[in-house]
Amino acid sequence: MPYELHYWPTIQGRGEFVRLALEAAGAPYIDVARGDERAGRGLPAMLDALDDETNPQQPFAPPFLKDGKLWIGQTAAVLHYLGPTLKLVGRSEKDRVWTQQIQLTIADLVTEVHDTHHPVDTDLHYEDQLPEALRCASALCRDRIPKYLQWFERIVANNPAGPRHLVAGKLSYADLSLFQLVEGLRYAFPTATAQALAEAPRVVDLHDRVAALPRVAAYLVSARRLPFSEEGIFRRYPELDLA
């Protein structure tokens, strides 16, 4: 039975971290909100699942995954659940816990990126909070992006199994998520990110290795891979690229 992934149909967003894991593993899945409404899918099907107050596992927000009778919300929790089955996490408890810590740290930076264009209120338009956005983006570009990328750089450099992966000697969902993080940062803050990545060559190498994986490479050029846009988490507002 294929997994059912629920996420907004027109953006990559947080759902892309889950989608990359499914694609890299060659796992069968249905992208529910992108499906045909005549087949009981599409955005209404996702919203119905989200609003089902009778579901004791009712998710709070997309992305969420349905696997049989099990519902899992929160990106990191979904990946933690999928990791063993998709063989995208080590077998030891140490590797599983460490991979999850890295994933949660990636999620922290994703939230900080989001806050550059919604620093005051997520219900306000970006244009309604420009001074705050500029202040937030300045700190992100000057301090936060380099700090996070240097942390990932040290993890790769200090991996006892070698610098090809973040954890142990095999591909994990954290590698895939770091790839997506770099992609998003390069889109949203190209100048600041280029400067930070110049000091993180191992992160760049890991990104490039993930991009070259056959299933990932095929996915990236497929119609299933939506482009970045100013509706998602990673948005390109040139005035915020404060390198």
The residues, any chain, with a CB within 8 Å of residue 118's CB and separated by 6 or more, are 124, 126, 129, 133
Within-domain flag for 225: no
**Which of 66, 86, 106 lies at the terminal end of a domain, its last residue?**
86
pLDDT at 187 over 80: yes
CB atoms within 10 A of CB 107: 18
Q: What is the pTM of this model?
A: 0.96
The pLDDT value given to residue 242: 87
The residues, any chain, with a CB within 8 Å of residue 165's CB and separated by 6 or more, are 156, 159, 171, 172, 175, 206
Within-domain flag for 232: no
Instruction: For residues 97 and 190, state if they share a domain.
Output: yes
Instruction: For residues 41 and 128, state if they share a domain.
Output: no
Handedness of CA 31, 33, 39, 45 (dihedral sign): positive
Q: Which of 150, 122, 128, 109 is nearest to 14 (CA)?
A: 109
Instruction: For residues 67 and 169, state if they share a domain.
Output: no
What CATH number did the domain enclosing 54 receive? 3.40.30.10
pLDDT at 1 over 90: no
Within-domain flag for 97: yes
Round to whole Å and give the CA distance between 104 and 110: 10
pLDDT at 39 over 80: no
Instruction: For residues 103 and 209, state if they share a domain.
Output: yes
Left (φ > 0), alpha (ψ -120 to 50) or beta: where does 67 sit?
Answer: beta
Domain count, the chain: 2
What range does the domain containing 21 cover? Answer: 3-86
Instruction: For residues 81 and 97, state if they share a domain.
Output: no
Going by pLDDT thresholds of 50, 70 and 90, the confidence category of residue 37 is confident
Q: How many residues does the chain have?
A: 243
pLDDT at 208 over 90: yes
pLDDT at 179 over 80: yes
Residues of the chain with pLDDT > 70, as a percent, come to 100
